[in-house]
Structure 1
Amino acid sequence: MAMILPLVLAHPRKIAITVSPLKLLQQNHVEEFNSYGVRTIQINEDTPDNKELWNDIARGVYQNILVAPEQFFRFKGHIPRLASLIMRVQSFSKNVGHLLVDEGHSIHTTGFVRKGEKAPFRPAYSRLNEVRAAIPSSTPVMVLSATLPPPTLYTVLDSLRINPETVTKLFLSTNRPNHFYAVHKMHNGPRTLKNLDFLIPVSSSPNPLPKTLVFVDTRDRAQDIAHYLRNRFPQQLQTKRIVSHLHSGMSEDYGQGVFNDFKNTNEIATVIATSCASNGVDVASISRLVCYGLPQTLIDLWQEFGRAGRLPELQSIALIIAEPWAFNTEDSEKPSTAEKRTDRDVREYVSFKTCRRAFKAQKDGDDSDEALTTRYGLCCDNCNADFDLGRFFPRPLYDPTHVADNSGQNATQTASQATQVKPRKFARSKANQEEITARLQTWRTETIRTSTYAGLWPRSHLLHDKKINKIVKSPLGSLTSLASVVSLLQESDEWAEHFGSGVFDIIQELDTAALEDLPPIKQEEETDEAFSQKKYTYQIKTKAWVATDASKFRKESDTVAPGPSSSRLADPIPDTPQTRKRQRGATSQPDEFQFVFSHYQPDLQPTPGPSQPKKARKKAPAPTPSQSVKPAQPGEPTPSQPKKSLPKPRQKKADK
């Protein structure tokens, strides 16, 4: 109405140019302006090159022209018809009586380089001052937006070359008392679509379903989520369009059809949309607004929040499913691309511990009496900590620590149960991988052919090849229950009820056969005696202690009397030139010294080791398990190892 009223009261021969960012929004404005008797046309790259139509535009037949900013400047090597008309036809440019900039915050958010980007998304927005220079200087300019906090407002005025002192400002509080604000942590990344299972209605859900709008960041994700949710709706609620997606890459007719059916009928209950639906889209009956992932700026976030709760008597919720990094205002060591692009103010809102409504009013510079008004006793998840989200959603929000099994009960084991049940896990053999892949693909084909219900599911959604690959890569013996299969594949309860048992039976059958072929594992606890009879070997080359089992050493030492020439090893010393050389007392240093320590004989003297000098290690004898070394009494001689005489060096024979 703020745009329509000046045109209704203005001179009928004056032309108004309205800058609007999106085709969908432009189409809505065309219908609204025409309903008030203001003849309006939408001009974009789809406008036909019709000579008669453009003659009517030049003669002022249309009182209001809705355009995108790119229509004023050279675009992709071509000069648009409207830009040529303003520059070359003076009678047209002089007849422009109003310049309206709808969603004026777009100058700030898209016309300039944003955080984490190398170039502005829509640089034409930063050049609108050039349009002012091409029309009469007395032409009034009106900027309209629901999100113009003080920093953004002054950026917009500076870009348009408008003196702030000459501006008349009209502010209204954007607070909606019927709005409830909440934040929930996203688990396992945005590709884990189970984060949105709370939107799947139950069989007893009311019909018509409440209007729901979900915002995502990419077109592909919007399409994937729409397919995911649609195929999991109860059968009596399933239609081809009950969940639809919407983005700017769609044709104008298709996008407008989705929007009209969502707004005016009950054929579409949920729309998964990109930012194309975040500006100016007016659907009064939306009661549930979900942001799946964070937008880049607070302005984008407030715009998305503004799509819900437009009817004062309608209770509405604005819920954010935020990535884990968003709960920390400091950047992580290796930030993702989304983290780099997201403003700190957005992360402050997510991690805010007090009233979120007050946070929004502070950032907007809204100090009016209506800024903190609430209705129905609802404010936010920080102010109403005991609030039950079941008031808005049919299912609880996703929590990976609670996996529902086939009976709907919690299948998560307690810590004590988890320690008692330890399934054996082994890597799958190549034969097992090939067999399980073939069996699951055969099962999928047969299920689609024989089951009427399965025929409603796309082949990839029944059991995608990527999910089969997940099963193949899982350790052998790790999928011990239906709940574990559902958790691994991130499937819904409905999928588990209809198809889960067939997949699990195949896995269990093949895993059981493969585990039976494996050799048994001896799990014996080490006794104190065994632990005390460890043989520690100090290897001079590696400078490290190596612990080995000394059971063989102990068995032989019980039967063989200790002595200088007694063997302490289970295997006899081989008769080789090297061993004979050592027995003759060669000067070569042995590769290793072997020592045996007893942890339960405190009267043992410290045995020579690497911490002692090299001379001490040579001279000190090595104790054995069958010897009991006692400290020498005063006056008694210390036993020493007899010295072996070294062979005399061979003398050279004199020349005869």
Structure 2
Amino acid sequence: MKGKMADIKVIDAALEKILPRFGVSALKKEQRSILDAMIEGKDCMAILPTGFGKSLPFQVYIPLMREMNPGFSAVILVCCPLVALMQDQVKKISAVPGISAAYKGLSEESDRQILSGEIDVIYASPESLISNAVWREDMKKLNVQNIVIDEFHTIATWGEDRMGLKKQAFRKWFSHVGELRSLFPKASVIALSATSTVKIQKRVSKQLSFGPNTVEIVMSPNKANIKYSISKVSSDLEMAMSWLVDGIQHLQSDFPKTLLYCSSINDVSKLYTYLIKELDGTSPLIEMFHSETPIGKKTEIVNCLNDKNNTSKIRLVICTTALGMGIDVSHCNSVILFGIPENIVDLVQEIGRIGRDGESSIALILFNAYHLRRLDKSMKDILRSPTCRRINIMKQFLSESNLSELEQDVKKHTCCDVCHKLCSCGNCEYLSLERLFEQSVISNSDSNEAEDSFGSSDNDFLDGTLDLNSCYV
């Protein structure tokens, strides 16, 4: 059946039986387009917003094919960037009857099951799939019918020279993902991402050898319910984050669930230590998450963030991008970026972790003089611009026509801090986290005025000992 579109009525009838297992009644139009491409054996590049459900089509695929053809036998290989993401996906798939999933390195037994063809959806990192020669050869024996490149933008942002900054690739094997085509020449490739600039799309398409018949599905990464607010803060940690201490101390368990992204493990550790020291007795409200966090603790934090009933005690998770792509964060409408990411894709990714329920949300983007030193001109321009933050960010993702539509749709007081100041509706309101920060800005206005936004002689971030070579996730 692969390579030839099955009768639409047959597919629809099979989907009606399969989808309830996944807790949905129907696929969205874009999800169905991905699934149809898989059935037809076509390559596909899909860029869909965070929380949209990009993974559902390939998760549905094998049970669907078995429903239509009981003798169907094949596996799906998912090249995935983060262990936390693999864990989250495997957990969800494993709860669905009639389909199995595992990731390379979960256990010796699961690795054996993968290589023996007992696992339907196999997750693995580029390092496992490409650099590990033994694993690579053993995998070639499997009937891999589809290769999914999850979060494909990491091919450019992690696998190359850090988005043109002439820095060593963060994880070089991401730039070799295209080699999977030679390992499984008959497999179609499905590339998925929530955030990809037009330039990255072209670079990844070339690396994955996508041709003119590739199915392309592109939606704007803009999430209108998230307000952007960008501010420069003091390089002194206590001055920069005293408002956060006051807010948690005052609100305790009523503090809005918040993700606080830092650019390195070093930053996460120092900020966590500072907050715990200042908030003696409230440590259950705060956790930290990075690549070196023990697996058990990672699982505990992810489960709390996934809690649909919102009963978790955790109010603030200080993290790196290790807590990110593809992880479902429920009832979270506040994010703080302490330091600007090096590229626009990571910026939108981190912001996109929140607001998945469609409720009004706030993204506070805070930076100091040290953070500016490692940014390229394009990122500094976003900070400097006196015009709408949203338009300046989204112009790298949207066509001119889509950008023009966005400009017409922008709602001033819920768009960004720049638009808020220009709004004359008289009904502007601050969200809880935004209000806490704005109150601190007002109270510290005299000291803030002494610092020039981009020409300050601030000391290095925190205590001046931040390790420039510290791990970024």
Q: Same fold (TM over 0.5)?
A: yes
Instruction: Confirm whether residue 381 of structure 1 aligns to residue 428 of structure 2.
Output: no
Given candidates 19, 42, 56, the residue that maps to 2:103 is 42
Given candidates 84, 95, 100, the residue that maps to 1:24 is 84
Counterpart mapping for 1:196-275 below 5 A: 196-200=241-245, 201=247, 205=251, 207-233=253-279, 238-264=281-307, 265-275=311-321
Match of 1:286 in 2: 332
CA distance in structure 2 between the partners assigned to 1:35 and 1:172 by the alignment? 29
Q: Please say which structure displays the higher CA radius of gyration.
A: 1
Match of 1:61 in 2: 118
Q: CA deviation at 1:202?
A: 6.2
Given candidates 144, 147, 162, the residue that maps to 1:96 is 144
Q: CA deviation at 1:343?
A: 3.0
Q: Secondary structure at the match of 1:205?
A: helix
Q: Secondary structure at the match of 1:241?
A: helix
Cα distance per residue 1:598-653 (max 9 Å; x no partner): xxxxxxxxxxxxxxxxxxxxxxxxxxxxxxxxxxxxxxxxxxxxxxxxxxxxxxxx
CA distance in structure 2 between the partners assigned to 1:246 and 1:374 by the alignment? 34
User: 8 Å contact 2:362–2:431 — kept in the other structure?
Assistant: no
Structure 1 residues 199 and 167, CA gap change in structure 2 (3 angstroms): same
CA distance in structure 2 between the partners assigned to 1:139 and 1:33 by the alignment? 22
2:57 aligned partner, one-letter code: A
CA distance in structure 2 between the partners assigned to 1:203 and 1:73 by the alignment? 48
User: 8 Å contact 2:243–2:440 — kept in the other structure?
Assistant: no
User: 8 Å contact 2:305–2:330 — kept in the other structure?
Assistant: no
Match of 2:139 in 1: 86
2:397 aligned partner, one-letter code: D
CA distance in structure 1 between the partners assigned to 2:107 and 2:252 by the alignment? 45
Match of 2:398 in 1: 365
Q: CA deviation at 1:274?
A: 0.8
Structure 1 residues 346 and 40, CA gap change in structure 2 (3 angstroms): same
Q: CA deviation at 1:156?
A: 0.5
Counterpart mapping for 1:434-473 below 5 A: none
1:255 aligned partner, one-letter code: K
CA distance in structure 1 between the partners assigned to 2:156 and 2:122 by the alignment? 23
Structure 1 residues 202 and 269, CA gap change in structure 2 (3 angstroms): closer
Match of 1:550 in 2: none
Q: CA deviation at 1:390?
A: 6.5
Cα distance per residue 1:485-529 (max 9 Å; x no partner): xxxxxxxxxxxxxxxxxxxxxxxxxxxxxxxxxxxxxxxxxxxxx
1:129 aligned partner, one-letter code: G
Match of 1:323 in 2: 368
Match of 1:124 in 2: 173
Match of 1:434 in 2: none
User: 8 Å contact 2:268–2:288 — kept in the other structure?
Assistant: yes
User: 8 Å contact 2:362–2:434 — kept in the other structure?
Assistant: no
Is there any run of 5+ residues in structure 1 with no aligned partner, and where? 325-335, 404-409, 416-465, 467-656
Q: CA deviation at 1:258?
A: 1.9
Instruction: Confirm whether residue 166 of structure 1 aligns to residue 213 of structure 2.
Output: yes
CA distance in structure 1 between the partners assigned to 2:254 and 2:412 by the alignment? 23
Q: CA deviation at 1:199?
A: 2.1
TM norm structure 1: 0.53
User: 8 Å contact 2:364–2:434 — kept in the other structure?
Assistant: no
Instruction: Confirm whether residue 10 of structure 1 aligns to residue 65 of structure 2.
Output: yes
Is there any run of 5+ residues in structure 2 with no aligned partner, and where? 1-55, 67-71, 451-462, 464-473
Cα distance per residue 1:326-358 (max 9 Å; x no partner): xxxxxxxxxx7x656423222222112112222
CA distance in structure 2 between the partners assigned to 1:411 and 1:124 by the alignment? 49
2:193 aligned partner, one-letter code: S
User: 8 Å contact 1:193–1:225 — kept in the other structure?
Assistant: no
1:111 aligned partner, one-letter code: G
Structure 1 residues 283 and 206, CA gap change in structure 2 (3 angstroms): same
Q: CA deviation at 1:285?
A: 1.4
Structure 1 residues 263 and 374, CA gap change in structure 2 (3 angstroms): farther
CA distance in structure 1 between the partners assigned to 2:441 and 2:313 by the alignment? 33
Cα distance per residue 1:173-219 (max 9 Å; x no partner): 222221111100121x2x52431222232665374321101111121
1:113 aligned partner, one-letter code: D
Q: CA deviation at 1:240?
A: 2.9
Aligned Cα root-mean-square deviation (Å): 3.0
Match of 1:574 in 2: none
Match of 1:175 in 2: 222
Match of 2:471 in 1: none
Instruction: Confirm whether residue 355 of structure 1 aligns to residue 388 of structure 2.
Output: yes
Structure 1 residues 55 and 28, CA gap change in structure 2 (3 angstroms): closer
1:58 aligned partner, one-letter code: L
Instruction: Count residues with an aligned counterpart.
Output: 376
CA distance in structure 2 between the partners assigned to 1:384 and 1:15 by the alignment? 50
CA distance in structure 2 between the partners assigned to 1:74 and 1:260 by the alignment? 31
Q: Secondary structure at the match of 2:420?
A: coil
Q: CA deviation at 1:398?
A: 8.6
Identity among equivalent positions (%) equals 22
CA distance in structure 2 between the partners assigned to 1:376 and 1:62 by the alignment? 50
User: 8 Å contact 1:15–1:96 — kept in the other structure?
Assistant: yes
Structure 1 residues 159 and 231, CA gap change in structure 2 (3 angstroms): same
Instruction: Confirm whether residue 142 of structure 1 aligns to residue 183 of structure 2.
Output: no
TM norm structure 2: 0.72
Q: CA deviation at 1:268?
A: 0.8
Relative to total residues, which structure has the larger helix share, 1 or 2? 2
Match of 1:590 in 2: none
Q: CA deviation at 1:374?
A: 5.4
User: 8 Å contact 1:41–1:62 — kept in the other structure?
Assistant: yes
Cα distance per residue 1:444-466 (max 9 Å; x no partner): xxxxxxxxxxxxxxxxxxxxxx9
Match of 1:568 in 2: none
Counterpart mapping for 1:593-604 below 5 A: none
Q: Secondary structure at the match of 2:205?
A: helix
CA distance in structure 1 between the partners assigned to 2:224 and 2:252 by the alignment? 25
User: 8 Å contact 1:40–1:62 — kept in the other structure?
Assistant: yes
Q: CA deviation at 1:282?
A: 1.6
User: 8 Å contact 1:178–1:374 — kept in the other structure?
Assistant: no
Structure 1 residues 222 and 173, CA gap change in structure 2 (3 angstroms): same
Q: CA deviation at 1:169?
A: 0.8
Counterpart mapping for 1:458-497 below 5 A: none
